[in-house]
Structure formats: structure tokens, C-alpha cells
Chains A and B, each alone.
Chain A
């Protein structure tokens, strides 16, 4: 499985729901945009490392909504303290999905520390996150997305990108349409 395949499963499971999705900078955002563009996707165009933090702030602000942040191993390694903050805040409406492909996929697939000795599952557990799981194939991912509402889900994939177009939205459009879904009082049905 590559990241694109994992995102297809994620989109299949969450795309029709009201889940607020934060998508990491670079290929993760572009691939999700191609697979399943929706107003409730926030495409992070800059600020590498902060997907998990943006997701945490949103989840704490909106305890009535499910929030899912898509992050990467390179990005998490850049902001590892975020796992400690998430562990201690532990909002039960927040799932952090880390696509761990052992590479900086958007900058030429240079290897990350997780391709070496670093184990993000152990890092998340050590940070104090109670609900941590790791999957490495499609069926495992599907199963976890059905049962896991919060915590940290690490998805091991191969390090390859899909050829996808750039996002045809300007930053103002991305946040405006996202906040139509995320900032206003939510009424289901």
C-alpha cells in the first residue's frame, strides 16, 4: 500500500460523513484533493509539522464534531512534542492518522528516522497516548477506521507519491469553505 491507497480508504470511510479533516502539506493534501475534495477538508499549504496541532486545536474547540488529522512521519518527527500535548489533552473526538512511509515524500523521498531505528508507535505510547494502533495493509486500516474514534493510528506504507494535480483553490477559499463546516453551530440532519 502506498499513501494514495491509504487516503482512498480514508476517503471511502469518512468522505460522506461530517468528519472535519486536516490534510498535511504537500502530496497528502494534493492526493486527498484528487480523491475526495470536500468543504470539510482543510488543505495545509505551509507550516510543515503542524497538522497534528491544528487538528488538536480544532478538536478541543469543537468537542461535538469528529476531527481527523492526516499527518506524516517526517512531519511528526518535526513536531514530536505535539504527541505529548495530544496525550495530555486526550480529546475523545480526535483521531490522528500518521501515514508512515519512512520518507519525506514531497521533497524527493529522502529517508526519515522511521526508516531507521525510530518507532512512532513507541513514541506515541511513550508520550502518553492511551489509544495507539499500527496497521500495514488495507484491511487492517479499514477495520481500525471503523472502530477507532480517537488516539493515534499509524499506517505503514511504501514511500511513493501518485501523480496528481496541484490544488486549484487559493488559501482564502480553502479556509472560508472549511469554516462554513467547522466554525458554525452544527445541526445534524
Chain B
């Protein structure tokens, strides 16, 4: 099993048709897959908060959006997730490459990596941490629930996840 393929299959199966991305090294295979899919509108944003806004607009236009980012981008997304998504009950799937956890070679990733699950908890955004075998099913269930309830779902994909195969 290829981690990027599994996430991509889950995205497709979930009916996601609009994706904003801000890169992470762990997303480097997934982003081109999304970009070349004719049924997905892909927008490369300059910053994660901007991407949250773009996804909100796409949802209001009838799309089913997701954003892909590194967990560091959660830091600049918080106000938008609270005062836009939460306020208006705008659903969103958030695919996060979770850095700064077990196996992280870059020390600067650690502080935000450790805080990311706590930030999601404070925001009342459920965080799912599937392994590779569970990923497809978990993402599909999380997406369904989020869009039914007008909420957001975060999928935290650790360093180990991207190394599995």
C-alpha cells in the first residue's frame, strides 16, 4: 500500500471535489495526484488561513472541499476555523501532515507538532490518527460525519504513516 494513494482513494471515495494545498515534503506525491485529477479543482494557496477562506467559498458554491497542509499551518488557521467555519457551520476536511512527532529530524518542528492535537481539541475539531491500513476507511467516515454535521474533521498523518508501505 502506498500512503499517498490511500489518502487519494479516500478523498475520491468521499466525493471531495475541491482541494486547497499548501505544501509539505510528505504531501509531495499527493499534491500532483490531486492536481491532475480532472474532477477535482485544485488551488495552491500561499498560506493556510487563506486556504480555509477559499474552501469556505467553494463550499458555499456547492463544492465539497478539503485542505491539505503541514501541521505548522494550523497555527495561522485558527481564527478562520473559529470565526468562519465554526460560526457559520461550514464543513471542511483537513488533511494534515503531522510533523514534530516520533521520527522528526528537524527540532523546529517539535513545538508545534506537540501542540497540534491540543489546538484541534480546543477548537472542537475531532482529530483522527489512522495507520495506513485504517486510513481510507477513517478518512471516509470522518468526512461523512463532518459534512453531515456542518463541522470540520482533521486527519493527522504522522511521519511513520508516510513511511509505511
Residues of A at under 8 Å CB distance from B?
22, 42, 44-62, 65, 79, 81-82, 84-85, 88-89, 171-172, 174-175, 178-179, 182-184
* Chain A residues with CB under 8 A of B83: 45-47
Of B62, B65, B90, which one neighbours A184 at CB under 8 angstroms?
Answer: B62
* Chain B residues with CB under 8 A of A61: 18, 41, 57-63
* Chain A residues with CB under 8 A of B50: 50, 53, 79, 81-82, 85
Closest 3 CB pairs of A and B: A46-B83, A57-B57, A61-B61
Measured in the bound complex, the distance between the Cα atoms of B149 and A100 in whole Å is 38
Residues of B at under 8 Å CB distance from A?
18, 20, 41, 43-47, 49-63, 65, 79-80, 82-84, 87-90
Docked-complex contact B46 and A46, CB < 8 angstroms: no
Docked-complex contact A178 and B45, CB < 8 angstroms: no
Docked-complex contact A183 and B61, CB < 8 angstroms: yes
Docked-complex contact B46 and A54, CB < 8 angstroms: no
21 contacts between A and B (CB under 8 A): A46-B82, A47-B52, A47-B83, A53-B50, A54-B60, A54-B84, A56-B57, A57-B53, A60-B54, A61-B57, A61-B59, A61-B60, A62-B61, A81-B46, A82-B50, A82-B53, A85-B44, A85-B54, A171-B88, A174-B88, A178-B60
Known: A50-B50, A60-B43. A172 touches B60 (CB 8 A): no
Chain A nearest CB from B53 CB (Å) reads 3
Docked-complex contact B89 and A172, CB < 8 angstroms: yes
Measured in the bound complex, the distance between the Cα atoms of B12 and A139 in whole Å is 49
Docked-complex contact A49 and B49, CB < 8 angstroms: yes
Chain A nearest CB from B148 CB (Å) reads 16
Docked-complex contact A50 and B56, CB < 8 angstroms: yes
Measured in the bound complex, the distance between the Cα atoms of B47 and A51 in whole Å is 15
* Chain A residues with CB under 8 A of B84: 44, 46-47, 50, 54
Chain B nearest CB from A174 CB (Å) reads 7
* Chain A residues with CB under 8 A of B20: 57
Measured in the bound complex, the distance between the Cα atoms of B18 and A50 in whole Å is 18
